[in-house]
Structure 1
Amino acid sequence: MAVPKKRTSKAKSRSRKANWKRKAKHASQKAISLGKSALSGKNQSFIYISETNTNIT
């Protein structure tokens, strides 16, 4: 069975954690921005069908 030979340094593990948190922050900001644009009605990147316009006969 393979085992690591040396211990990972604190700096390397902290840098990995910081990178993971930065990616999560970027994804959350993007999601909030997308939600705001959908609610404001100024969206151009996707088609959004609202509940009031579903009266298609």
Structure 2
Amino acid sequence: MACPKKKTSKSKRSMRRAAWKRQAALQAQRALSIGKSILTERAQGFYFPEAEEENEDEQE
């Protein structure tokens, strides 16, 4: 017969939840920062402004 597993303690459960929430908060903060940098047009490296691409097409 299958035996039931032991119950996870509240402290272990709260530590895991805190770690998960910390990671989620960090990702949300990074996403907001990237969004702000794109809106202010200060983004470099991962973002290619469309205005430059349009100018290149017009010059050819």
TM bin (shorter chain) = 0.7 to 0.9
Give the RMSD, CA atoms, in angstroms: 2.0
Report the identity percentage.
37
Structure-to-structure mapping, 1:13-52, within 5 angstroms: 13-50=13-50
**Structure index of larger Rg:** 2
Runs of 4+ residues over 2 Å off in structure 1: 47-50, 53-57
How high is the TM-score relative to the length of structure 1?
Answer: 0.75
Change (3 A) 1:8 1:47: same
Count of matched residue positions in the alignment of Structure 1 and Structure 2 = 54
Unaligned runs of 5+ in 1: none
The structure where helix makes up a greater share of residues is 2
How high is the TM-score relative to the length of structure 2?
Answer: 0.71
Unaligned runs of 5+ in 2: none
